[in-house]
Structure 1
């Protein structure tokens, strides 16, 4: 069963003004149990240690993480993996043969300085299995070797290249991004719309980072709540990537870009997420622009909880995302099969 829509949630009280009729607020799951959130403290400690490194070591560690990865063979059979270049940008495909049914193009997070992690692959392959679509992970260039606008340029060129290469299929597609990749996805969608290019059927944003100015009034409050994240690391990565450029540029901070006319958006955040303030302000901007929006704010959810947690709460958020993708790609015909897959995953959610 997909999450049910509700009118309001108590944690939304800080948002100014009523929600537009185009905003569907989804019912969150009950708060997570301790075993589901157990990895947060470990991730937070690792980020805090990275943030304390001297500048030279900090940049060296970022460079060491820049090489594109692949999902583990225990997760994805080797025969389903292909790597190709689209307009020169490397992309890893899972089950490219399924592209005729639809494609999910994903832009990973990592504060513009780190490559995708196993949690990204786990989450992305879950979406593939439960929607029947092909998925494409874009490996954009990273700071400090290549600061802004390298990541933005690669993201939009990769999307254009994928669509060109698959043009004979005329397949439906969804654009997805998490954290920094969520900001990139929104910026790419804004550019495609402004230039009247082929647009996605929908946009999936997980804990998106959409404002690099640091002006979010909630940021320090959220830093104290999000055990899995480091504000200091975020700030140091911001400096590496922005590299002295105007951080209000919508290519860096798409919160300041044009929202009107964007395709439907699915936005997932957590009330303990370091970037919760970004999500709240983005929800308001999309609402004002009358963009169709489904919005899930999970009580106690930390940064990227749908990717990093294992259990009922993360499964609840994933089901909402998967339902949105199925609807965007017109894959409702596979509902019977999908329901069986969902039941199997729900049964294993605690493992």
Structure 2
């Protein structure tokens, strides 16, 4: 959609901010000056981005005109330039939309929980595939992955794995991954060569601070136990693993990755705080209009969001009716195109709402 009305509204805001900044009284109010200066910088960035898009589109048209009159031996190179410019323009348009609908949680680090669903050992192996996919995407994006807890099977799958991803725009890009992921393939454990369907559930939790969620220590039950690995073998002989139960909600978390009980407790508190914060966000979402709840990023854990079909090398995201036949590349962490399409689809809904409010 063309967000012209939104930009017109922001231009008026920019003029008002500039008028306030030029008033003599503003110099005697440092807090107000800082607030207005920040707002001015944010608005200027939006219009600089708009100018950048217009410049790229003019350049694109010039190359199109050149293509029309160029000799055959130069056309292939010009077409490659056109393709490159088109991709740059698409990225800038997406960036503009993100600026028009700011997301205050976008820069939060994120805790990811993957749990094997229906499908037994095959579902656990699929959970391991999903973990590798997100770990590789994190590596490609320059993010850091820190495993908090895992329950590994004898074949190298995960009944459950919990990990934190730290970096720029982590939550903005991963928030759409919450839901049921389904795989269709011949399992490693299947001798008859039949295709099975298995599933794993992914939960994306924005990391919360103590200011976001205040936890009363008297409402916690904290237990310690010996950490164990695949096959029940003890990772260590001391009770370093920690389990915390939040009594008012019944939410329970456990962490056993470190040999230090103190470190495991700190990680468990971070995980508990993230789950409580996510519960607050889900509660807010449930109180919104039906239109808002249907947004791409609603995070409904029971929703089947994506199917990975190995016989056809196909990945289908059911929310945006997007299909790619690059299954191997996607499972190797090449998620950028899929993530961009999900962000854009969600932004389109939010921009329509914003335009409705400006009428």
Q: Same fold (TM over 0.5)?
A: no
- Judging by fraction of residues, say which structure has more strand: 2
Q: Give me the TM-score of the superposition, normalised by structure 2.
A: 0.25
Query: How high is the TM-score relative to the length of structure 1?
Result: 0.26
Structure with the larger RCO, 1 or 2 (CA within 8 Å, 6+ apart): 1
Higher-Rg structure is 2
